[in-house]
């Protein structure tokens, strides 16, 4: 097991009716900006619940943060934060709204002239404007981590950022919000969380027995509840297990003491930036090719995964590892998630070369758990994903 430090300061309030607890979590003297997305919260009753809970508080609103939170939109919110002297933010939404608020948390206290530098220069945020979240869509675990991913249409870029100052002060996780989520977003959430576990697990054996078992437990739980959640998102027990699995998949715990990969996400983000494909779907496109391409260095963990998550116990190590990749693909297909780029866009040709060039220009020369995946390797993996 590798050395590690672990701290996660986010307070989680989980369960039915927890949105009503907002009043005791938000600072009473704060000037609050409530931020949300395109309006789903006005249709499913979450907006009213939040407003009711915050009666008597000084609350302004900013709406319209789109999926894949857009830099230009966030700059408008930043202007409002400054003009209105906002002292606390409340994100009500999925990963996009929460990530957008994290960017604002960093940008509001940033001393430099150009907030885009936070993303392009990877400036770590030690202290941000405080914020809490009401999660409406289980998927990213942004509600309990300190990372964010921001998009910029003008340049077709999508960059990540983070830092210890960007953990939410609290996050409210009421699984009842799952009931109104459309099937496509449910499938995305399951796929994203599942791939988060893979990114922190599918490397090489490092003697971290407990981390492996927790990671496998999260994947098994997602596999078990996926059909129930898709069939009936108002099934509270299924929704609660889905929600907590997503949070646990990327709140920092399972990555401690183990090598991590994250190359699938780096490649996937380019597909969203170039074609607007949903984040989770880009992962389903890249992951199988990534594991096939890096088969030799990942086969021990692939075989362990095949055995423990999918119950594949016969065959050689290589056969089990191969079957594990196939089972992953089948799982994505069972969620009606396509796993080839050509199924999403007719303009897929040349994508691998564009990504090769971008990674080379950015100096991203060694990705993955061995920091050895070159832009030329990335080009081959993306080509295999056509």
Please give the residue whose beta carbon sits closest to Zn ion in the complex.
Answer: 192
How many residues touch Zn ion under the rule CB under 5 A: the total is 1
Closest distance of CB 179 from ligand NZQ, Å: 8
Edge to edge, the sheet with strand 88-93 lists 11-14, 170-173, 131-135, 88-93, 31-36, 58-62
* CB of 158 or CB of 320, closer to Zn ion: 158
Which residues inside 159-218 make contact with Zn ion, applying CB under 5 A? 192
Calculate the alpha carbon distances from 116 to 60, 161, 354 in Å: 25, 11, 22
Site for ligand NZQ contains 227 (CB under 6 A): no
Closest alpha carbon to 362 in 374, 372, 351, 380: 374
Instruction: Out of 133, 185, 245, 289, name the contact with ligand NZQ by CB under 6 A.
Output: 185
40 touching ligand NZQ, by CB under 6 A: yes
- Per-residue tokens: 243: 């929600």
Phi, psi of 371, rounded to the nearest 5 degrees: 50, 40
- List 22, 37, 74, 337, residue binding ligand NZQ (CB under 6 A): 37
If one asks whether residue 136 binds ligand NZQ (CB under 6 A), the answer comes out as: yes
For residue 359 the two structure tokens come to 């990674």
Q: Which does 175 bind (CB under 5 to 8 A by kind): Zn ion, ligand NZQ, none?
A: none
The CA-based dihedral angle spanning residues 59, 61, 65, 71, taken in that order and rounded to the nearest 10 degrees: -80
Contact segment (CB under 6 A) with ligand NZQ among 94-102, 110-118, 122-130, 354-362 equals 94-102
Tokens 């606390």 -> residue: 88
Residue 200's binding partner out of Zn ion, ligand NZQ, none, with CB under 5 to 8 Å set by partner kind: none
Q: Report helix, strand and coil shares of the chain as percent, to nearest 5.
A: 55, 10, 35
9, 39, 112, 164: which one contacts ligand NZQ (CB under 6 A)? 39
**If residue 343 lies in a helix (H) or strand (E), which one and from where to where?**
none
DSSP 65: P
Q: To the nearest whole angstrom, how small is the minimum distance from the Cβ of residue 97 to ligand NZQ? A: 6
The total number of residues written for the chain in this structure: 386
Identify the residue among 104, 119, 139, 254 touching ligand NZQ (CB under 6 A): 139
Q: Which of 107, 149, 243, 254 binds ligand NZQ (CB under 6 A)?
A: 149
Rounded to 5 degrees, what are φ and ψ at 60?
A: -105, 165
Q: From the list Zn ion, ligand NZQ, none, pick the one residue 216 interacts with, judged by a Cβ distance below 5 to 8 Å according to partner type.
A: none
Give the residue with the Cβ less far from ligand NZQ, 167 or 291.
167
> Residue 135, SS3?
strand
Q: Which of residues 191-220 bind ligand NZQ (CB under 6 A)?
A: 192
345 near 375, Cβ under 8 Å? no
Can you give the C-alpha Rg of the chain in angstroms?
Answer: 20
User: Which of 70/192 has CB closer to Zn ion?
Assistant: 192
Tell me whether residue 125 or residue 145 sits nearer to ligand NZQ (CB atom). 145
Q: How many angstroms separate the CA atoms of 313 and 306, rounded?
A: 8
Which residues, 238 to 277, sit near ligand NZQ by CB under 6 A?
250, 265
Residues that bind ligand NZQ (CB under 6 A): 37-41, 44, 67-68, 93-97, 99, 136-137, 139-142, 145, 147-149, 177, 180-181, 185, 188-189, 192, 250, 265, 279
């Amino acid at each position: 097991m590798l050395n590690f430090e672990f701290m996660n300061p986010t307070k989680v309030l989980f369960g039915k009716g927890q949105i009503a607890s907002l009043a005791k979590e938000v600072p009473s003297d704060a000037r609050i900006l409530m931020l949300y997305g395109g309006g789903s919260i006005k249709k499913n009753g979450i907006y009213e619940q939040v407003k009711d809970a915050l009666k008597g508080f000084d609350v302004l609103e900013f709406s319209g943060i789109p999926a894949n939170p857009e830099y230009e939109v966030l700059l408008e919110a930043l202007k409002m934060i400054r003009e209105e002297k906002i002292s606390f933010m409340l994100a009500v939404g999925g990963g996009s709204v929460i990530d957008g608020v994290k960017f604002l948390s960093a940008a509001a206290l940033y001393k430099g002239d150009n907030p885009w530098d936070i993303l392009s220069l990877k400036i770590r945020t030690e202290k941000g404007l405080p914020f809490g979240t009401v999660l409406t869509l289980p998927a990213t675990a942004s509600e309990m981590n300190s990372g964010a991913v921001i998009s910029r249409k003008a340049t077709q870029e999508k960059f990540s950022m983070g830092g210890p100052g960007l953990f939410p002060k609290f996050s409210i996780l009421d699984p009842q919000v799952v009931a109104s989520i459309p099937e496509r977003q449910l499938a995305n959430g399951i796929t994203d969380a599942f791939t988060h576990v893979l990114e922190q697990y599918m490397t090489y054996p490092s003697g971290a027995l407990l981390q492996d078992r927790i990671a496998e437990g999260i994947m098994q739980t997602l596999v078990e509840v996926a059909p129930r959640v898709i069939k009936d998102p108002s099934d509270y027990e299924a929704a609660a297990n889905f929600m907590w699995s997503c949070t646990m998949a990327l709140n920092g715990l399972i990555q401690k003491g183990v090598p991590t990969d994250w190359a699938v996400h780096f490649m996937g983000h380019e597909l969203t930036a170039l074609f607007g494909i949903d984040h989770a779907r880009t992962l389903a496109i890249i992951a199988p090719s990534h594991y096939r391409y890096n088969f030799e260095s990942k086969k021990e963990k692939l075989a362990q995964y095949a055995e423990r998550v999918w119950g594949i116990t016969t065959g050689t190590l290589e056969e089990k590892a191969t079957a594990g990749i196939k089972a992953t693909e089948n799982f994505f297909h069972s969620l009606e998630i396509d796993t080839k780029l050509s199924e999403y866009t007719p303009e897929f040709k040349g994508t691998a070369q564009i990504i090769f060039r971008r990674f080379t220009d950015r100096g991203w020369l060694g990705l993955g758990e061995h920091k050895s995946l070159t832009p030329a390797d990335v080009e081959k993996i993306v080509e295999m994903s056509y």
